[in-house]
Structure 1
Protein backbone atom coordinates (compact mmCIF):
# COMPACT_ATOMS: atom_id res chain seq x y z
CA UNK A 1 0.00 0.00 0.00
CA UNK A 2 1.53 3.34 -1.04
CA UNK A 3 0.56 5.07 2.20
CA UNK A 4 2.42 2.51 4.32
CA UNK A 5 5.34 2.49 1.90
CA UNK A 6 5.67 6.25 2.31
CA UNK A 7 5.41 5.88 6.08
CA UNK A 8 8.24 3.33 6.15
CA UNK A 9 10.35 5.49 3.85
CA UNK A 10 9.90 8.46 6.20
CA UNK A 11 10.73 6.22 9.17
CA UNK A 12 14.02 5.20 7.54
CA UNK A 13 14.78 8.83 6.65
CA UNK A 14 14.08 10.07 10.22
CA UNK A 15 11.17 12.04 8.82
CA UNK A 16 8.49 11.16 11.39
CA UNK A 17 7.29 13.80 13.84
CA UNK A 18 8.50 12.17 17.06
CA UNK A 19 10.11 13.50 20.24
CA UNK A 20 13.79 13.15 19.39
CA UNK A 21 13.43 14.43 15.81
CA UNK A 22 11.26 17.40 16.86
CA UNK A 23 13.71 18.40 19.59
CA UNK A 24 16.54 18.40 17.06
CA UNK A 25 14.46 20.87 15.05
CA UNK A 26 14.19 23.11 18.15
CA UNK A 27 10.52 22.24 18.68
CA UNK A 28 9.79 22.09 22.39
CA UNK A 29 8.00 18.78 22.98
CA UNK A 30 8.51 15.94 25.42
CA UNK A 31 11.24 13.77 23.85
CA UNK A 32 10.45 10.71 25.99
CA UNK A 33 8.46 7.62 25.05
CA UNK A 34 4.95 7.63 26.49
CA UNK A 35 5.20 3.94 27.35
CA UNK A 36 8.59 3.51 29.00
CA UNK A 37 10.12 6.98 29.46
CA UNK A 38 13.16 6.38 27.26
CA UNK A 39 14.22 8.70 24.43
CA UNK A 40 11.60 8.51 21.69
CA UNK A 41 13.23 7.67 18.35
CA UNK A 42 11.69 5.97 15.34
CA UNK A 43 13.61 2.76 16.00
CA UNK A 44 12.54 2.84 19.65
CA UNK A 45 8.83 3.26 18.84
CA UNK A 46 8.72 0.51 16.23
CA UNK A 47 11.32 -1.92 17.57
CA UNK A 48 13.13 -1.15 20.83
CA UNK A 49 10.41 -0.17 23.28
CA UNK A 50 9.25 -2.94 25.62
CA UNK A 51 5.72 -2.22 24.42
CA UNK A 52 6.72 -2.79 20.78
CA UNK A 53 8.64 -5.94 21.69
CA UNK A 54 5.51 -7.41 23.27
CA UNK A 55 3.64 -6.76 20.01
CA UNK A 56 6.34 -8.36 17.87
CA UNK A 57 6.64 -11.33 20.23
CA UNK A 58 2.89 -11.95 20.17
CA UNK A 59 2.25 -11.50 16.45
CA UNK A 60 2.13 -14.45 14.00
CA UNK A 61 5.61 -13.63 12.71
CA UNK A 62 7.09 -15.22 15.82
CA UNK A 63 10.84 -15.71 15.73
CA UNK A 64 11.01 -14.41 12.17
CA UNK A 65 10.57 -10.87 13.46
CA UNK A 66 13.19 -11.22 16.22
CA UNK A 67 16.15 -8.89 16.06
CA UNK A 68 19.64 -9.02 17.51
CA UNK A 69 20.81 -6.05 19.55
CA UNK A 70 19.18 -2.70 18.84
CA UNK A 71 19.18 -2.23 15.04
CA UNK A 72 18.06 0.98 13.41
CA UNK A 73 14.75 0.81 11.62
CA UNK A 74 16.50 1.19 8.25
CA UNK A 75 18.91 -1.68 8.97
CA UNK A 76 16.05 -3.85 10.16
CA UNK A 77 13.95 -3.20 7.03
CA UNK A 78 17.02 -3.80 4.86
CA UNK A 79 17.23 -7.20 6.52
CA UNK A 80 13.85 -8.13 5.08
CA UNK A 81 15.68 -9.22 1.95
CA UNK A 82 16.52 -12.42 3.85
CA UNK A 83 12.82 -13.34 3.62
CA UNK A 84 13.45 -14.18 -0.05
CA UNK A 85 15.06 -17.42 1.14
CA UNK A 86 11.55 -18.68 1.91
CA UNK A 87 10.23 -18.13 -1.60
CA UNK A 88 8.75 -15.14 -3.39
CA UNK A 89 5.17 -15.61 -2.23
CA UNK A 90 6.06 -16.20 1.42
CA UNK A 91 8.53 -13.29 1.40
CA UNK A 92 5.83 -10.97 0.09
CA UNK A 93 3.47 -12.09 2.86
CA UNK A 94 6.09 -11.61 5.58
CA UNK A 95 7.05 -8.14 4.35
CA UNK A 96 3.40 -7.12 4.11
CA UNK A 97 2.59 -8.30 7.63
CA UNK A 98 5.71 -6.61 9.07
CA UNK A 99 4.64 -3.39 7.35
CA UNK A 100 1.14 -3.52 8.83
CA UNK A 101 2.49 -4.19 12.33
CA UNK A 102 4.76 -1.13 12.02
CA UNK A 103 1.85 0.95 10.76
CA UNK A 104 -0.44 0.05 13.66
CA UNK A 105 2.35 0.59 16.18
CA UNK A 106 2.61 4.09 14.74
CA UNK A 107 -1.17 4.64 14.90
CA UNK A 108 -1.18 3.51 18.54
CA UNK A 109 1.60 6.01 19.30
CA UNK A 110 -0.44 8.82 17.72
CA UNK A 111 -3.48 7.91 19.81
CA UNK A 112 -1.35 7.82 22.96
CA UNK A 113 0.24 11.21 22.34
CA UNK A 114 -3.06 12.91 21.58
CA UNK A 115 -4.84 11.25 24.49
CA UNK A 116 -7.35 9.38 22.37
CA UNK A 117 -6.82 5.89 23.74
CA UNK A 118 -4.23 3.43 24.97
CA UNK A 119 -4.00 0.38 22.74
CA UNK A 120 -3.39 -2.99 24.34
CA UNK A 121 -0.66 -4.91 22.46
CA UNK A 122 -3.21 -7.56 21.51
CA UNK A 123 -5.34 -4.89 19.81
CA UNK A 124 -2.39 -3.86 17.63
CA UNK A 125 -1.76 -7.47 16.69
CA UNK A 126 -5.43 -8.08 15.86
CA UNK A 127 -5.73 -4.88 13.78
CA UNK A 128 -2.52 -5.61 11.85
CA UNK A 129 -3.47 -9.22 11.13
CA UNK A 130 -6.98 -8.22 10.03
CA UNK A 131 -5.65 -5.52 7.69
CA UNK A 132 -3.05 -7.94 6.33
CA UNK A 133 -5.65 -10.64 5.64
CA UNK A 134 -8.01 -8.19 3.93
CA UNK A 135 -5.19 -6.82 1.79
CA UNK A 136 -4.02 -10.29 0.74
CA UNK A 137 -7.60 -11.39 0.00
CA UNK A 138 -8.12 -8.42 -2.30
CA UNK A 139 -4.82 -9.08 -4.07
CA UNK A 140 -5.76 -12.73 -4.52
CA UNK A 141 -9.20 -11.92 -5.94
CA UNK A 142 -7.78 -9.30 -8.29
CA UNK A 143 -5.30 -11.83 -9.65
CA UNK A 144 -7.92 -14.49 -10.42
CA UNK A 145 -10.92 -12.56 -11.77
CA UNK A 146 -10.82 -11.45 -15.40
CA UNK A 147 -11.81 -7.89 -16.36
CA UNK A 148 -14.76 -9.28 -18.33
CA UNK A 149 -16.10 -11.08 -15.27
CA UNK A 150 -15.72 -7.93 -13.19
CA UNK A 151 -17.69 -5.91 -15.68
CA UNK A 152 -20.52 -8.45 -15.66
CA UNK A 153 -20.74 -8.90 -11.90
CA UNK A 154 -19.65 -5.60 -10.39
CA UNK A 155 -22.20 -3.86 -8.19
CA UNK A 156 -21.86 -1.15 -5.60
CA UNK A 157 -20.74 -2.83 -2.39
CA UNK A 158 -21.42 -1.09 0.89
CA UNK A 159 -18.39 -0.36 3.09
CA UNK A 160 -18.14 -1.49 6.69
CA UNK A 161 -19.89 0.65 9.31
CA UNK A 162 -16.81 2.72 10.15
CA UNK A 163 -15.95 3.63 6.54
CA UNK A 164 -17.26 6.07 3.95
CA UNK A 165 -17.14 5.06 0.28
CA UNK A 166 -16.72 7.73 -2.36
CA UNK A 167 -17.28 7.11 -6.09
CA UNK A 168 -15.74 9.69 -8.42
CA UNK A 169 -16.22 10.29 -12.13
CA UNK A 170 -15.60 12.81 -14.89
CA UNK A 171 -17.27 13.37 -18.25
CA UNK A 172 -15.88 15.05 -21.35
CA UNK A 173 -17.61 15.91 -24.61
CA UNK A 174 -15.20 17.34 -27.17
CA UNK A 175 -18.03 17.82 -29.67
CA UNK A 176 -20.03 19.98 -27.25
CA UNK A 177 -16.93 21.54 -25.67
CA UNK A 178 -18.32 20.66 -22.27
CA UNK A 179 -16.85 18.82 -19.32
CA UNK A 180 -17.58 18.20 -15.68
CA UNK A 181 -16.77 16.14 -12.62
CA UNK A 182 -18.83 14.59 -9.87
CA UNK A 183 -18.63 12.38 -6.83
CA UNK A 184 -20.92 10.80 -4.27
CA UNK A 185 -19.99 9.72 -0.73
CA UNK A 186 -22.14 7.08 0.95
CA UNK A 187 -22.13 5.29 4.29
CA UNK A 188 -22.58 1.57 5.00
CA UNK A 189 -26.34 1.87 4.50
CA UNK A 190 -25.91 3.41 1.07
CA UNK A 191 -27.12 6.77 2.36
CA UNK A 192 -25.67 9.68 0.32
CA UNK A 193 -23.74 12.03 2.61
CA UNK A 194 -22.07 14.27 0.04
CA UNK A 195 -23.17 14.68 -3.57
CA UNK A 196 -21.32 17.10 -5.83
CA UNK A 197 -21.28 17.84 -9.55
CA UNK A 198 -19.21 20.65 -11.00
CA UNK A 199 -18.97 21.67 -14.69
CA UNK A 200 -15.26 22.51 -14.64
CA UNK A 201 -13.18 22.79 -17.80
CA UNK A 202 -10.56 20.23 -18.87
CA UNK A 203 -9.46 18.69 -22.16
CA UNK A 204 -8.25 15.28 -20.95
CA UNK A 205 -10.56 12.87 -19.14
CA UNK A 206 -7.81 11.63 -16.80
CA UNK A 207 -7.25 15.21 -15.66
CA UNK A 208 -10.96 15.45 -14.91
CA UNK A 209 -10.96 12.17 -13.00
CA UNK A 210 -7.98 13.38 -10.94
CA UNK A 211 -9.73 16.69 -10.19
CA UNK A 212 -12.80 14.75 -9.04
CA UNK A 213 -10.79 12.67 -6.57
CA UNK A 214 -8.93 15.70 -5.22
CA UNK A 215 -12.16 17.65 -4.72
CA UNK A 216 -13.77 14.63 -3.04
CA UNK A 217 -10.87 14.28 -0.59
CA UNK A 218 -11.07 17.97 0.29
CA UNK A 219 -14.80 17.69 0.98
CA UNK A 220 -14.36 14.56 3.10
CA UNK A 221 -11.58 16.20 5.13
CA UNK A 222 -13.80 19.24 5.66
CA UNK A 223 -16.66 16.98 6.80
CA UNK A 224 -14.40 15.16 9.25
CA UNK A 225 -14.48 11.64 7.84
CA UNK A 226 -11.65 9.49 9.24
CA UNK A 227 -11.74 6.27 7.19
CA UNK A 228 -12.56 6.50 3.50
CA UNK A 229 -12.54 4.37 0.38
CA UNK A 230 -12.24 6.12 -2.99
CA UNK A 231 -13.33 4.34 -6.16
CA UNK A 232 -12.83 5.40 -9.78
CA UNK A 233 -13.39 3.71 -13.12
CA UNK A 234 -10.11 5.09 -14.50
CA UNK A 235 -7.65 2.24 -13.97
CA UNK A 236 -4.65 4.24 -15.18
CA UNK A 237 -5.27 7.05 -12.70
CA UNK A 238 -5.76 4.63 -9.79
CA UNK A 239 -2.54 2.81 -10.74
CA UNK A 240 -0.59 6.07 -10.76
CA UNK A 241 -1.96 6.99 -7.31
CA UNK A 242 -1.21 3.56 -5.88
CA UNK A 243 2.34 3.76 -7.27
CA UNK A 244 2.95 7.05 -5.49
CA UNK A 245 2.71 9.25 -8.57
CA UNK A 246 6.32 8.89 -9.62
CA UNK A 247 5.57 7.56 -13.10
CA UNK A 248 2.43 9.60 -13.76
CA UNK A 249 2.22 11.87 -16.83
CA UNK A 250 3.30 15.47 -16.25
CA UNK A 251 -0.24 16.49 -17.17
CA UNK A 252 -1.56 15.14 -13.86
CA UNK A 253 1.60 14.90 -11.71
CA UNK A 254 0.78 17.92 -9.53
CA UNK A 255 -2.81 16.80 -8.97
CA UNK A 256 -1.69 13.29 -7.99
CA UNK A 257 0.86 14.76 -5.56
CA UNK A 258 -2.01 16.73 -4.00
CA UNK A 259 -4.14 13.57 -3.79
CA UNK A 260 -1.36 11.63 -2.07
CA UNK A 261 -0.78 14.48 0.37
CA UNK A 262 -4.49 14.83 1.16
CA UNK A 263 -4.80 11.08 1.77
CA UNK A 264 -2.44 11.44 4.76
CA UNK A 265 -5.12 13.47 6.59
CA UNK A 266 -7.22 10.33 7.08
CA UNK A 267 -6.68 7.48 9.51
CA UNK A 268 -7.24 5.17 6.54
CA UNK A 269 -7.64 6.03 2.86
CA UNK A 270 -7.67 3.57 -0.04
CA UNK A 271 -7.95 4.02 -3.80
CA UNK A 272 -9.56 1.30 -5.88
CA UNK A 273 -10.38 0.78 -9.54
CA UNK A 274 -13.93 -0.34 -10.18
CA UNK A 275 -15.48 -0.78 -13.65
CA UNK A 276 -18.30 1.57 -14.57
CA UNK A 277 -21.49 -0.20 -13.52
CA UNK A 278 -24.45 -0.13 -11.21
CA UNK A 279 -22.69 2.10 -8.65
CA UNK A 280 -22.77 4.99 -11.12
CA UNK A 281 -25.65 7.30 -10.28
CA UNK A 282 -27.43 8.74 -13.35
CA UNK A 283 -26.36 12.34 -12.86
CA UNK A 284 -22.67 11.37 -13.01
CA UNK A 285 -23.17 10.02 -16.47
CA UNK A 286 -25.00 13.16 -17.60
CA UNK A 287 -22.46 15.77 -16.58
CA UNK A 288 -21.90 16.90 -20.14
CA UNK A 289 -25.42 16.61 -21.48
Structure 2
Protein backbone atom coordinates (compact mmCIF):
# COMPACT_ATOMS: atom_id res chain seq x y z
CA UNK A 1 0.00 0.00 0.00
CA UNK A 2 2.86 2.36 0.82
CA UNK A 3 4.57 1.56 -2.46
CA UNK A 4 1.42 2.54 -4.34
CA UNK A 5 1.64 6.15 -3.07
CA UNK A 6 3.01 8.31 -5.83
CA UNK A 7 5.50 10.97 -4.73
CA UNK A 8 5.28 14.54 -5.95
CA UNK A 9 6.28 14.93 -9.60
CA UNK A 10 7.92 18.26 -8.76
CA UNK A 11 10.04 16.85 -5.94
CA UNK A 12 8.24 18.59 -3.08
CA UNK A 13 9.02 17.45 0.46
CA UNK A 14 6.43 15.46 2.39
CA UNK A 15 4.48 17.52 4.90
CA UNK A 16 1.60 17.18 7.30
CA UNK A 17 -1.56 18.85 6.05
CA UNK A 18 -4.58 19.70 8.21
CA UNK A 19 -7.46 19.29 5.76
CA UNK A 20 -10.12 21.28 7.65
CA UNK A 21 -7.96 24.42 7.34
CA UNK A 22 -7.61 26.36 4.06
CA UNK A 23 -3.92 26.95 4.70
CA UNK A 24 -3.29 23.31 5.63
CA UNK A 25 -1.97 24.28 9.07
CA UNK A 26 -3.61 23.21 12.30
CA UNK A 27 -5.14 25.97 14.40
CA UNK A 28 -6.94 25.73 17.71
CA UNK A 29 -10.00 27.27 16.03
CA UNK A 30 -10.31 24.56 13.39
CA UNK A 31 -9.57 21.87 15.97
CA UNK A 32 -12.35 23.26 18.18
CA UNK A 33 -14.84 23.27 15.31
CA UNK A 34 -13.98 19.68 14.34
CA UNK A 35 -14.31 18.62 17.98
CA UNK A 36 -17.73 20.29 18.28
CA UNK A 37 -18.89 18.71 15.01
CA UNK A 38 -17.96 15.27 16.31
CA UNK A 39 -19.61 15.89 19.68
CA UNK A 40 -22.86 17.52 18.47
CA UNK A 41 -25.04 16.28 15.63
CA UNK A 42 -25.08 18.51 12.55
CA UNK A 43 -27.42 21.49 12.67
CA UNK A 44 -29.68 19.94 10.04
CA UNK A 45 -30.49 16.97 12.28
CA UNK A 46 -31.02 18.95 15.47
CA UNK A 47 -34.69 19.54 16.18
CA UNK A 48 -35.18 23.16 17.14
CA UNK A 49 -38.41 25.04 17.28
CA UNK A 50 -36.79 28.41 17.87
CA UNK A 51 -37.01 31.02 15.17
CA UNK A 52 -34.22 33.24 16.45
CA UNK A 53 -35.36 36.36 14.62
CA UNK A 54 -39.07 36.11 15.39
CA UNK A 55 -38.81 34.66 18.90
CA UNK A 56 -35.77 36.43 20.32
CA UNK A 57 -34.08 39.18 18.34
CA UNK A 58 -37.22 40.88 16.96
CA UNK A 59 -39.17 40.47 20.21
CA UNK A 60 -40.71 43.50 21.90
CA UNK A 61 -38.49 43.51 24.98
CA UNK A 62 -35.25 45.11 26.04
CA UNK A 63 -31.84 44.15 24.69
CA UNK A 64 -30.74 42.77 28.08
CA UNK A 65 -33.72 40.39 28.03
CA UNK A 66 -32.94 39.31 24.46
CA UNK A 67 -29.36 38.53 25.49
CA UNK A 68 -30.63 36.78 28.61
CA UNK A 69 -32.94 34.51 26.56
CA UNK A 70 -30.17 33.85 24.07
CA UNK A 71 -27.87 32.77 26.91
CA UNK A 72 -30.52 30.42 28.27
CA UNK A 73 -31.06 28.77 24.89
CA UNK A 74 -27.33 28.46 24.23
CA UNK A 75 -26.83 26.88 27.68
CA UNK A 76 -24.53 29.75 28.58
CA UNK A 77 -26.46 30.94 31.64
CA UNK A 78 -24.52 29.86 34.75
CA UNK A 79 -27.14 27.58 36.27
CA UNK A 80 -25.79 24.92 38.58
CA UNK A 81 -26.16 22.22 35.92
CA UNK A 82 -24.18 24.24 33.37
CA UNK A 83 -21.47 25.01 35.93
CA UNK A 84 -21.30 21.31 36.83
CA UNK A 85 -20.88 20.43 33.14
CA UNK A 86 -17.95 22.85 33.00
CA UNK A 87 -16.21 21.25 35.97
CA UNK A 88 -17.31 23.51 38.82
CA UNK A 89 -18.38 21.18 41.61
CA UNK A 90 -19.53 23.65 44.23
CA UNK A 91 -23.23 23.52 45.01
CA UNK A 92 -25.52 22.10 42.31
CA UNK A 93 -28.72 22.43 44.29
CA UNK A 94 -31.57 24.85 43.68
CA UNK A 95 -31.41 27.67 46.21
CA UNK A 96 -35.18 27.46 46.73
CA UNK A 97 -35.88 23.72 47.09
CA UNK A 98 -32.61 21.75 47.03
CA UNK A 99 -33.21 19.83 43.75
CA UNK A 100 -30.64 19.76 40.93
CA UNK A 101 -30.84 23.21 39.32
CA UNK A 102 -31.38 22.79 35.60
CA UNK A 103 -32.76 25.51 33.36
CA UNK A 104 -36.17 23.86 33.23
CA UNK A 105 -36.19 23.31 36.98
CA UNK A 106 -35.20 26.87 37.79
CA UNK A 107 -37.75 28.53 35.53
CA UNK A 108 -40.66 26.04 35.52
CA UNK A 109 -40.43 23.02 37.85
CA UNK A 110 -39.27 24.56 41.13
CA UNK A 111 -42.08 25.27 43.61
CA UNK A 112 -40.93 28.91 43.74
CA UNK A 113 -41.12 29.27 39.94
CA UNK A 114 -44.50 27.54 39.82
CA UNK A 115 -45.82 29.98 42.42
CA UNK A 116 -44.51 32.94 40.39
CA UNK A 117 -46.13 31.64 37.19
CA UNK A 118 -49.42 31.00 39.01
CA UNK A 119 -49.50 34.62 40.19
CA UNK A 120 -48.84 36.02 36.72
CA UNK A 121 -51.88 37.74 35.20
CA UNK A 122 -52.48 35.34 32.31
CA UNK A 123 -55.88 34.37 30.94
CA UNK A 124 -55.32 30.65 31.58
CA UNK A 125 -53.46 28.40 34.00
CA UNK A 126 -50.06 27.16 32.91
CA UNK A 127 -48.46 23.76 33.33
CA UNK A 128 -44.88 24.18 32.16
CA UNK A 129 -43.42 21.41 34.30
CA UNK A 130 -43.03 18.87 31.50
CA UNK A 131 -41.63 20.89 28.58
CA UNK A 132 -38.20 22.22 27.70
CA UNK A 133 -37.31 25.90 27.75
CA UNK A 134 -37.15 25.93 23.94
CA UNK A 135 -40.68 24.56 23.65
CA UNK A 136 -41.96 26.91 26.33
CA UNK A 137 -41.04 29.96 24.27
CA UNK A 138 -43.60 28.99 21.62
CA UNK A 139 -46.26 28.54 24.29
CA UNK A 140 -45.43 31.61 26.37
CA UNK A 141 -45.05 34.13 23.56
CA UNK A 142 -48.73 33.67 22.66
CA UNK A 143 -50.09 34.28 26.16
CA UNK A 144 -52.06 37.46 26.70
CA UNK A 145 -51.54 39.37 29.91
CA UNK A 146 -54.89 40.07 31.62
CA UNK A 147 -55.85 42.76 32.23
CA UNK A 148 -53.84 44.57 29.54
CA UNK A 149 -51.35 46.63 31.49
CA UNK A 150 -50.17 48.69 28.50
CA UNK A 151 -46.70 49.09 29.98
CA UNK A 152 -45.18 47.49 26.95
CA UNK A 153 -46.44 45.91 23.76
CA UNK A 154 -44.25 42.87 24.30
CA UNK A 155 -44.87 39.59 26.10
CA UNK A 156 -44.63 39.20 29.85
CA UNK A 157 -42.83 35.84 29.98
CA UNK A 158 -39.25 37.13 29.43
CA UNK A 159 -39.66 39.51 32.34
CA UNK A 160 -40.97 36.74 34.59
CA UNK A 161 -37.95 34.59 33.67
CA UNK A 162 -35.66 37.56 34.36
CA UNK A 163 -37.29 38.10 37.76
CA UNK A 164 -36.93 34.42 38.69
CA UNK A 165 -33.25 34.61 37.69
CA UNK A 166 -32.56 37.80 39.67
CA UNK A 167 -34.42 36.41 42.72
CA UNK A 168 -32.21 33.32 42.54
CA UNK A 169 -29.06 35.44 42.31
CA UNK A 170 -30.21 37.67 45.17
CA UNK A 171 -30.58 34.63 47.44
CA UNK A 172 -27.19 33.23 46.42
CA UNK A 173 -25.19 36.43 46.68
1:112 matched to 2:171? The reply is yes
TM-score normalised per structure 2:
0.55
Gap change, CA 1:113 and 1:34, over 3 Å in 2: same
Q: Is the 8 A contact 2:123 2:143 kept in 1?
A: no
Cα shift at 1:79: 2.3
**Is contact 2:122-2:143 (8 Å) kept?**
no
CA distance in 1, matches of 2:82, 2:64: 21
Corresponding pairs, count: 108
- 8 Å contact from structure 1 (residues 20, 31) kept in 2: yes
Aligned-residue RMSD, C-alpha: 2.7
Per the normalisation by structure 1, the TM-score is 0.34
From 111, 114, 118, the equivalent of 1:50 is 111
**Aligned: 1:36 with 2:97:** yes
Are 1:99 and 2:158 counterparts?
yes
Query: CA separation in 2, counterparts of 1:59 and 1:111?
Result: 21
SS in 2 for 1:63: coil
- Any stretches of 5+ residues in structure 2 without a counterpart? 1-61
**1:105: Cα distance to partner?**
0.7
Q: 1:69: how far off?
A: 4.3
Q: Is the strand fraction higher in 1 or 2? A: 1
Change (3 A) 1:94 1:19: farther
Unaligned runs of 5+ in 1: 115-289
Structure 1 match to 2:133:
73
Q: Which has the higher helix share?
A: 1
Distance 1:70 1:94, change over 3 A: farther
Considering Cα pairs closer than 8 Å and 6+ residues apart, tell me whether 1 or 2 has the greater RCO: 2
Deviation at 1:68, TM superposition (A): 4.9
